[in-house]
Structure 1
């Protein structure tokens, strides 16, 4: 079991990003990255998108698009596990920039049966996103619509079965954030997924979004096992992580040496109960499982008991084997898998 799940970027997106990076020149993109990092750490007024020209958009795609994709894809995977066979016919990628969430939705529901619209206030980001999408293997990515529109105030949004709002509400003022979330909830016919950086500030924005979605009549399906008050208090915060493999160009642009990075993120996935026949899990693992000799310690957020620690030992049999394969962010107990249990029963125990 790995400490963090690895999320592979689609090969066609990886190739498109590498081609764009080569064309931009990694040294120039690296300088743009440094400036963007400072902007993202600062305060940006609602009327000013961070990505203001083609160089900004290319730098963003180089240093943020793989991580954003991994976070959204992980959140969608958790949502899909609770939503059963439901699939969107239409998708609105709100504040989607270069389209990371559009690629993630196409990977979560492959086959090109849905239509995606990327809506953002940065024309350079939309232009680059359209260029990256031209060589996509998934028809839904190639056919996506790229639309410029303001995000502040109370935007008029087209209705969609699935709405994604990824890594954008932190760019808005509190009033703009509230207006955008309310508009997104009103536009949602099926499900809405909001993802933010896995920081204390990002967590607070996710809780704000969660509260507004519940007030709008949506039901939380993931990661929370309930719609009630978050049991986390004090200086702690809820977040998860996805491991993102880095190419040599990616490492050069970001100034890193490791062949991967761990993207920490928070999210909420909520749905209209009359449209999506799903239910939240009984519990979710909210910290790295601790594997010790003959036992696994699972820190859980549960529906009935809030935050608890579950100690699973060898005497629990199949549950112990499942716990050894459980990762941070997984549901607990895992969904029954008769074939996996049968294979595990025939395997020797690890000491």
Structure 2
């Protein structure tokens, strides 16, 4: 009888270095990955660029807020003298991050009927009043209690302290992708729905500068609009705004013919109470989009669901009385226009990205944080020079002589690819090692190799 081959554990995630047949495991996994372009093709797309600056690199290094915005925010908070501000900031942050979508009335009625039938079958309740009370009590315990936040002057300041820098970082990452892939795009007008503290305006000005001539900030809260205006004036009630051409409104423009080069909704769809309200707002925002519609939400399952529902709505072309008949396309981050494979999986997961940023130096803040967010950028009739490269949807795991890449591919499927220099060529291997979460790689699937399921190979 042949001696049993001894297996030694690898330092990464405690898996074995060899399969039972004696084949190294990373090669086995690489065999499940897709075929890729030949090395000559890699050289073609690289040109004279270094591997660390290949065309698929879209991430931003640590985002820095404009000093004028930092100074204004510090001044406003110092003047406010809010009690227990650190505790209030943490409470609001936790609430916003854990927020779920409100249950639709139809779903609530269905759940109530199920509970009523279940209680009737037990026969423990004698009267109709007792039954109704028991159903209401059970619903309170099992249904998420969603409520709309009312941003008065105090809550607006707390929101600014909690979310101004993180929101700026997420939107800056979205704008950077447009700028990097379409460097000739010079927008002149921008509309920000649910503008809040005005972080979108600052991020757009930081990205495109003097190109933008008009910013329309729309928010239902008069206190938020007043706060955003004061931030533009250095934290003062009067003075010259740091960014010219900014206008504030509490309602969306009525005329359907008015379009903006860039339309943004950042962390605002979650403030709408129903699917019907979100559908109406998204259709309105799309009608007003001349080039790009940017939607950003928290990097949670609820946030991801919101942006994917909006994506599907635009791609279906269900716009009412369209003025602009150019079709909508997905510009980023999806390399395809199929249904999101993360939502169609047996266990749906959020598709999110991360952006490092330097925080506003409040006493309770760490100097550096990561903003986790979900986004979709939709374009009006513009597909761009997108090479249909696969998108990295998790952090890249770099190991000796191989790199683990979790990808969303142009065929609408998820892939786990182990890139090695021997199998994929040294240029693609070095590009993979230089890439990070959110970047793109020139990987293409092949019918010879079926897609492999995404595996979690994190260090946890």
Tell me which interval the TM-score lies in, with the shorter structure as reference length.
0.7 to 0.9
User: 2:332 maps to what in 1?
Assistant: 222
1:190 to 291, 312, 315: 291
2:335 touches 2:389 (CA, 8 Å); kept in 1? Answer: yes
Q: Is residue 252 of structure 2 the alignment partner of residue 147 of structure 1?
A: no
User: Normalising by structure 1, what TM-score?
Assistant: 0.82
Bigger radius of gyration: 2
The structural deviation recorded for 1:36 is: 3.5
> Is this contact kept in 1: 2:232–2:242, CA < 8 A?
no
Q: CA offset at residue 97 of structure 1?
A: 1.1
Q: Offset of 1:163 from its aligned partner?
A: 0.1
Asked if 1 retains the 8 angstrom alpha-carbon contact of 2:186 and 2:211, the reply is: no
Whether 1:298 and 2:405 are equivalent positions in the alignment is yes
1:231 corresponds in structure 2 to 341
Shift in Å, 1:312: 2.4
Which of 374, 378, 381 is residue 270 of structure 1 equivalent to?
Answer: 378
- Following the alignment from structure 1 to structure 2, what is the Cα–Cα distance between the partners of residues 183 and 42? 24
Contact 1:300-1:308 within 8 A present in 2 as well: yes
Q: Does 1:131 align with 2:230?
A: yes
Length, aligned pairs only:
322
What is the CA distance between 1:204 and its match in structure 2? 0.6
In 2, the alpha carbon distance for the partners of 1:221 and 1:52 equals 33
Aligned-pair distance for 1:319?
2.3
* Unmatched tracts of structure 1, length 5 or more: 335-351
**Partner residue of 1:313?**
420
Q: How far is 1:168 from its partner?
A: 0.4
Q: Quote how far apart the aligned CAs of 1:248 are.
A: 3.9
Pair 150,71 (structure 1): closer, same or farther in 2 beyond 3 Å: same
Cα distance in 2 between the residues matched to 1:66 and 1:317: 39
| Helix, strand or coil at the partner of 2:210 | coil
CA contact (8 A) 1:202 1:266 kept: yes
Q: Which moved more, 1:195-204 or 1:53-62?
A: 53-62
Match runs of 1:1-351 below 5 Å: 5-25=61-81, 27-34=83-90, 36-37=92-93, 40=96, 41=99, 50-135=149-234, 141-149=243-251, 158-173=258-273, 174-216=275-317, 217-232=327-342, 233=345, 234-249=347-362, 251-252=363-364, 258-273=366-381, 277-279=384-386, 281-304=388-411, 306-315=413-422, 316-333=425-442
Shift of 1:44: 8.0
Q: Whole-Å Cα distance in 2 between the matches of residues 108 and 261 of structure 1? A: 21
What is the deviation of 1:112?
Answer: 4.3
Aligned counterpart, 2:110? none
User: What is the TM-score with the length of structure 2 in the denominator?
Assistant: 0.64
SS at match of 1:80: helix
Range moving further from structure 2, 20-29 or 236-245: 20-29
Give the secondary-structure state (helix, strand or coil) at the position aligned to 1:231.
Answer: coil
Q: How far 1:281 moved relative to its partner?
A: 4.0
What secondary structure, in the 3-state scheme, does the structure 1 residue paired with 2:263 have? strand
Q: Distance in 2 between matches of 1:71 and 1:170?
A: 16
Q: Does structure 2 conserve the Cα–Cα contact (< 8 Å) formed by 1:281 and 1:332?
A: no
- The gaps in structure 2 that reach 5 residues or longer are 1-51, 53-58, 104-146, 318-326, 444-460
1:116 Cα deviation after fit: 0.9
Work out the CA distance in 2 between the residues paired with 1:43 and 1:314.
45
Q: Which structure: greater strand fraction?
A: 1
